[in-house]
Amino acid sequence: MNAIISASELASDLTGPRPPVVLDVRWQLGGPSLRSAYEQAHVPGAVFVDLDADLAGPAGAGGRHPLPDVAEFGAAMRAAGVDADRDVVTYDGGQGWAAARAWWLLRWTGHPSVRVLDGGLAAWEGPLEAGEPEPEPGSFRPAPGALPLLDADGAAALARTGLLLDARAGERYRGEVEPIDRVGGHIPGAVSAPTSDNVTADGRFRSAGELTGRFGSLGVSEGRRVGVYCGSGVSGAHQVLALAVAGVPAALYVGSWSEWSSDGSRPVATGPEPQ
């Protein structure tokens, strides 16, 4: 199954005999919750999921958005109506990062059928509804490990032996600016691969062929292990999603730069080159 779904495909699926569970994951970095915006207008039947509360654990030594407690994540997904045998579609305001984080967590914990709405809510042309639905509780029980996961040591090793992609903006990779974390720069050996280059101006993913060409130019090749990190494991999930569209499996370093840079003993590289 393709990891993304178009607005027209979602509209069709919502009229079918067993429509997908739709999760609204609108979120903004450093900003207040967007639940109020969701309550004013959302895709019919969509259930709001809070990235900071439901898709991440408390910020700390493991980074700004570490993995959530698996039991708590499972409870949140069941409360949203997620079943193991029912399709799930996630969307956000259009950037795609938060929706991809929900996609990745559900896939990592074993859900077999999750897609991201290509272009997010901005691409939706159907009706919107207000308020908040009360879904029937779902039956999904998370079983972590269905997708590959990296810790700090694993990311460092992969940068030496495979291909580690840094999904942040180029200026953060180069260490020219660092608006959030302790220090700028990148994991030694990582290759700059900004997530923004995976989408067109309207926020939709480039074609599978275009993405294959892009990742090939960055060093992706058959048999080479690929990993991704970003600032805190959110935009990196979007990069893993783009790689999936291109048919490339990739591991995610969830702690990402926010974890790596918090430890002053870890090496930091700067400049445009991996080393």
For 204, the token pair is 């939709």
Kindly give, in sequence order, each residue whose CB lies less than 8 Å from that of residue 15, ignoring residues fewer than 6 positions away.
Answer: none
By CB atoms closer than 10 A (0-12, 13-18, 19+), residue 268 is: middle
Q: Give the pLDDT of residue 94.
A: 86
Specify the pLDDT at position 44. 97
Predicted pLDDT of residue 242:
98
Q: What is the per-residue DSSP string for 223-252?
A: T--EEEE-SSSSHHHHHHHHHHHTT---EE
Domains 4-123 and 149-260 share a fold: yes
- Token digits of residue 86: 């029912």
Alpha-helical regions (H) of 30-69: 35-40, 51-54
Low-confidence ranges of the chain (pLDDT < 50): none
How far is 52 from 59, CA to CA, in rounded Å? Answer: 9
pLDDT at residue 144 in the model: 98
8 Å CB contact between 96 and 240? no
Domain ranges of the chain: 4-123, 149-260
pLDDT of 275 = 84
| Bridge partners, residue 116, by sequence | 4, 90
Name the active-site residue from 230, 241, 244, 254. Answer: 230
CATH architecture of the domain 149-260 equals: 3-Layer(aba) Sandwich (3.40)
Q: Quote the pLDDT of residue 32.
A: 84
Number of other CB atoms surrounding residue 270 within 10 Å? 14
What are the start-end ranges of the H helices in the chain? 7-13, 35-40, 51-54, 70-79, 97-108, 152-161, 170-174, 208-218, 235-245, 256-260
Task: Kindly report the CATH number that applies to the domain delimited by 4-123.
Answer: 3.40.250.10
pLDDT of residue 184: 95
**CA dist., res. 222 & res. 239, Å (int):** 18
The alpha carbons of the chain give a radius of gyration, in whole angstroms, of 18
Question: Which one, of 100, 41, 109, 104, lies nearest residue 75 by Cα?
Answer: 109
For the question of residue 138 being annotated catalytic, the response is no
pLDDT value, residue 95: 87
Please report the pLDDT score of residue 78 as a whole number: 98
pLDDT attached to residue 92: 97
